[in-house]
Amino acid sequence: MSMSDPVADLLTRIRNATMRKHPHTECPASLLKAEVVRVLKSEGFILDWNAGADAAGKPALTIELKYDDQGSSTIRGIKRISRPGLRRYTGYRELTTVLNGQGIAIVSTSSGLLTDRECRERKVGGEVLCHVW
């Protein structure tokens, strides 16, 4: 069965795993998902990730989730913005901050996946994939 929105599937797997306080989660791999996870690691929302294979031998991403001393996740919320049925594009001037700068927007640009802050610095816009806070 084909999946119509693989990025939403990735975000949902991360959201569900953090709600259940799992130490890691696994999802099918793709280049776009790997870039989303790379941005999450560089911004400190997850501990680490690696690409490998699942039990059936298909490519998979394993994501190690990050929790603070009290056991609550560093990812308080994660929301898909642009979706296959309604794409959301914005210029760098129109990019809004997420929770007054406490969160990030992941934007797909011609320079690759960037955060909203990096988009403003480089003066590039693109498709807003998701917000993470």
pLDDT of res. 2: 64
C-alpha to C-alpha distances, 21 to 5, 46, 111, nearest whole angstrom? 24, 13, 34
In our burial notation (b when 16+ CB lie closer than 10 A, e otherwise), range 80-111 reads: bbbeeeeeeebebeebeebeeeebbbbbbeee
Task: Give the CATH number of domain 6-65.
Answer: 3.30.1370.30
Q: Residue 3 above 90 pLDDT?
A: no
CATH 3.30.1370.30 domain position(s) in the chain? 6-65
Give the DSSP letter of residue 98. Answer: S
The neighbouring-strand residues paired with 29 are none
Model pTM? Answer: 0.94
What is the residue type of 112? G
Fold of 78-132: Dna Ligase; domain 1 (3.30.1490)
Q: With pLDDT > 70 as the criterion, what percentage of the chain qualifies?
A: 98
Average pLDDT, the chain: 96
